[in-house]
Structure 1
């Protein structure tokens, strides 16, 4: 572990998070659902992570928001369909006695958020789709066809290569997301995301990709027209290395009345690289 990561204030915050907010587990439809929760009695906020599938991934944001909200951060486990993910997360909320809640979905989590909105719009107060695309893709669109080929190729590679090689390649690949980060922040987040990559099993990673592939054959049904799109915020950036401009625009086309925020100089992970202004905008939107 790099000394610069250990000496960073976020390292102590990570240890405090793990001590204060241990993982909970419930079972639903033969799958285990793990999650962190910050307590009860406040407005609820669901934090949906990206493709690493870890509820711990945005621990700093969790702790920052826990003073005002009951924050819930789930893990995706081995669910292979968006419907399964939505059902599992709703089961968590029901288990905790939470009827309505806000949602922040980052990257893949934005797709999960759309599945929740489609399945249970009456339970969602305000929703933020951050650096994501539509969960109701046109399977004949060029972007969909490219994505299908890309994901199938990735899945083939994941199955073939040794796990140690997969971890090394994934760690190197994720570096591009930290280019806009202040230099003093980089060592910690590079180390930490390396840990998340190492902790995600091949089966869990393949399940994420199967969820995305299954969207093309079983897209998320359209959201009820009764949902007020002014309760939605879409966040993106010009330099997103995970989703093309066409893919990012697809979610704005789907929700034309939603509020929109673009970080001009950020990449895919503005939630981390631009954390202070990002969180300021999140708090402002949730209480507006």
Structure 2
């Protein structure tokens, strides 16, 4: 059950701030074990709402979670994640994107695949391509079936670039 008092206590205990360019980002760091998980929350934009699961994950992992201030481009998110990882001296993460955070995670994967050891999406659909007709999408899926994994990934990344130019 969600408790406002517990969420605010979570923020006071684990909250940190980081300035990237002119934007101040709030993030949380929990745990100090093994694998680093970077959790990108949904459209409510406040990672503290997931305090219970983040605390459970921190029992066996180092967990970073990011709040989202108003930004103007996907590039701002990418810069923030890069800055967060640099400030914490982290080279690779398991990136977890929940809902809206999954869309951000897919874009980050496109621009910084070398920084991810794994991508986990929860309750997050694929990027929406409103300009692609159903016929074109079905044709693309058939093409992907005959491509090698490497070429399929390249095609996927090119399609994301149409939606998220940096």
Aligned with residue 26 of structure 1, among 12, 18, 32:
18
**Secondary structure at the residue paired with 2:106?**
helix
Aligned to 2:123: 131
1:106-125 to structure 2, matched below 5 A, reads: 106-125=98-117
Aligned to 2:59: 67
1:194-233 to structure 2, matched below 5 A, reads: 218-220=162-164
2:86 equivalent to 1:94: yes
Q: How many residues align?
A: 140
Aligned to 2:142: none
Aligned to 1:17: 10
2:84 equivalent to 1:140: no
- In structure 1, the gaps of 5 or more residues are 1-7, 144-215, 222-288
Alpha-carbon displacement from aligned partner over 1:130-168 (angstroms, at most 9, x marks no partner): 122223x4341469xxxxxxxxxxxxxxxxxxxxxxxxx
- Tell me, in whole angstroms, the C-alpha distance in 2 between the residues paired with 1:18 and 1:57: 10
What is the TM-score with the length of structure 1 in the denominator?
0.44
2:23 equivalent to 1:42: no
CA contact 1:46–1:102 (8 Å) conserved in 2 = yes
Aligned to 1:168: none
Greater C-alpha Rg: 1
What is the TM-score with the length of structure 2 in the denominator?
0.73
- Tell me, in whole angstroms, the C-alpha distance in 2 between the residues paired with 1:81 and 1:33: 15
- Tell me, in whole angstroms, the C-alpha distance in 2 between the residues paired with 1:77 and 1:219: 21
- In structure 2, the gaps of 5 or more residues are 135-159
Segments ≥4 residues shifted beyond 6 Å: none
Aligned residues: CA RMSD: 2.6
CA contact 2:92–2:117 (8 Å) conserved in 1 = yes
